[in-house]
Amino acid sequence: MAANPMFAALGQRLPLLAAALWWGSLSVIGFMAVPLLFANLPTRMQAGNMAAHLFAAQTYVSMACCLCLLICAKSRHAAREYDWARDALVFVIAGLLLALLIQYGVAPRIVARQNLKLWHPAGSLMYALQWLCALATLWRLGRR
């Protein structure tokens, strides 16, 4: 039985869609939603609490997109991964590890207000690095 062409096309485009969702969601949360919270909520504490929830949700989006990319990197019947995967997998894995490290290592310290002069810049740097990993992945997938 022949595969449905619509599903075959989706399978080919799914990695690009996952990379676009990953990068786009990081961009919207980090560069639009969170700054708007701090600009519009009455106190920094309220904005910080809401930002923590948004960043936690963002972690789940990042995890889902990265796992989708990892699963799509190799065909069931292929001996090796797809060409795009050789270029992009290091960024996918690094981005996934950064997302997990931010959520479970850095964010609890920021929420607990522990040494904010260390943990907030560290979390911001890791978020920026994750954003760059997503961008590099999207860039490589867009080239093919």
pLDDT of residue 79: 62
What residues does each domain of the chain span? 14-143
Residue 142: per-residue pLDDT: 86
Would you say 18 and 65 are in contact if contact means Cβ atoms under 8 Å apart? yes
Q: What is the pLDDT of residue 8?
A: 57
Q: Are 69 and 137 in contact (CB under 8 A)?
A: yes
Instruction: State the pLDDT at residue 119.
Output: 96
Contact of 80 with 29, CB cutoff 8 Å:
no
pLDDT of residue 43: 95
